[in-house]
């Protein structure tokens, strides 16, 4: 599924697009099978929340980063599936980040 490297790739793309994670100290903190990133873009005066959803293979509670299935933007409910193959992942990652408002 996902690795810390993919989360860091997402963070890098967000940084490149002018987004800052305001709760960066909690960037990898799992609560109720979710991780939440509060992000802000000063250039466009916009806030967004990204929610990462974790799913264990057997439906059990999980806190493993490898169990992240997708991340969703709360404003418009757009999802980015983390388990995409590398070429599709990079393309979808850029589209996910650069279509944020």
User: Which positions ≥6 away from 5 have C-beta within 8 Å?
Assistant: none
Whether 29 contacts 13, CB under 8 Å: no
pLDDT for the residue numbered 89:
86
Q: Which two tokens stand for residue 66?
A: 């490898």
pLDDT at 63 over 90: no
Does the pLDDT of residue 1 top 60, yes or no?
no
What number is the average pLDDT over the span 20-35?
93
Q: What is the pLDDT of residue 82?
A: 86
How far, in Å, are 18, 87, 88, 94 from residue 30 at the CA level? Answer: 25, 28, 26, 24
Q: How many Å apart are CA 22 and CA 38, to the nearest integer?
A: 6
pTM: 0.90
């Amino acid at each position: 599924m996902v690795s810390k490297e993919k989360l860091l790739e997402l963070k890098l793309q967000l940084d490149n697009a002018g987004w800052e994670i305001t709760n960066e100290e909690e960037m990898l903190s799992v609560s109720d099978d979710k991780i939440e990133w509060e992000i802000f873009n000063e250039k466009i005066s916009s806030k967004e929340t990204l929610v990462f959803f974790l799913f264990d293979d057997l439906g059990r509670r999980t806190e493993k980063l490898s169990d992240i299935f997708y991340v969703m933007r709360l404003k418009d409910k757009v999802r980015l599936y983390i388990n995409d193959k590398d070429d599709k992942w990079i393309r979808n990652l850029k589209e996910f980040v650069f279509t944020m408002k």
